[in-house]
Amino acid sequence: MTIPKRILIVDDDPGIHRLLGDALHSEDRQIDSSFDGDDALARIKKVPYALVLADVQMPGLNGLALLECVRRICPATKVLVMTVENSPENVVWAIRKHAFSFFSKPFPISSLSEMVKTGLKSIEWEDDIEVTSAHPNWIALRLRCKVDAVDRIVQFLRELAPDLSQGEQENLATALREILMNATEHGGGSDPRQEVIVTYVRGSRSLVYYVRDPGAGFSFEDLSHAAVSNPPDSPFEHADIRERMGLRPGGFGILLTRKLVDELIYNETGNEVLLIKYLP
């Protein structure tokens, strides 16, 4: 018989417990509730939890302090941080302390549910993301070439632009994920021993994301299998080429990304790229 994976929800708002309890319910999960950080820590010391969802603002021990305690006494437990008061400093602090993810309230319940699912199946995840620069306006990260790590870093980076509209956040997240998936799959060969460099820079009128993969790069002349190379009068020519090459359907990544950001700029060899979003 499969042992249910234990999840602890820590929040002083009963409504959050009802919302998350309903959304995360599954026969292979056991969901417990705690309404303050001190009680949560006492529970975690007694029971091995697979995942903890912790609010930042709580009576007693706050969520960020709880994260630090959990990482020290039970490093196998993943912590997903939730907050109604987001700030770049809190996001970076959470990454440094190896939070599994970070969500601002109100959050799309489907996105959080997917991240919980990712957290419950992820193994050897602690070193997937490393902070190398932590200034709120210049954040540099190293990312292992793993799909789970891409999904995590995209969510962290989404939280660094809370002043954008939800639609703009979604567009940026989609663009970043496309570029990072290309970097990890094609540049890094999906090899977790390889790393992608990701840098976020916030200026007064722009957001800039720099991505460098460990591969040899590419030339646009060699991308006949990608939608970006389609002739104007033949929007699906690349699909026939992919089929002949034995590649899975797709090839829209770069073309899609160009539509979602204001500028997409590659270096000469094709293993470094800038995504630029201009601010009003």
Q: In what order do the strands lie in the sheet with 51-55?
A: 29-34, 5-10, 51-55, 78-83, 101-104
DSSP string, the chain: -PPPEEEEEE-S-HHHHHHHHHHH--TTEEEEEESSHHHHHHHHHHS--SEEEEESS-SSS-HHHHHHHHHHH-TTSEEEEEESS--HHHHHHHHHTT-SEEEESS--HHHHHHHHHHHHH--S-TTSEEEEEEETTEEEEEEES-HHHHHHHHHHHHTT-TTS-HHHHHHHHHHHHHHHHHIIIIISTT-TTSEEEEEEEE-SSEEEEEEE-SS----GGG-TTSGGG--TT-TTHHHHHHHHHTPPS---HHHHHHHHSSEEEE-SSSSEEEEEEE--
Give the domains, in start order, of the chain with CATH numbers: 1-123 (3.40.50.2300), 127-280 (3.30.565.10)
pLDDT of residue 258: 78
The low-confidence residues of the chain, meaning pLDDT below 70, are 1, 218-255
Q: Computed from CA positions of residues 152, 156, 157, 162, in that sequence, does the dihedral angle turn out positive or negative?
A: positive
pLDDT at 152: 95
Q: What value, to the nearest 5°, has the Cα angle with vertex 128 and ends 256 and 62?
A: 100
Residue range 193-243, pLDDT digits in tens = 999 999 999 999 999 999 999 998 765 555 544 544 444 554 444 455 445
pLDDT of residue 243: 55
Residue 249's pLDDT is what?
A: 47
pLDDT of residue 238: 43
Cα–Cα distance for residue pair 148/73, rounded to 1 Å: 24
- Predicted pLDDT of residue 135: 86
* Res 221: pLDDT: 55
Whether the CB-CB separation of 150 and 177 falls below 8 Å is answered with yes
> What token pair was written down for 138?
């210049």
pLDDT at 259: 83
pLDDT at 229: 45
CA distance 86 to 83: 6
Summarised one tens digit per residue, pLDDT across range 178-189 is 999 989 988 999
Exposed, middle or buried, 245 (CB in 10 Å: 0-12/13-18/19+)?
Answer: exposed
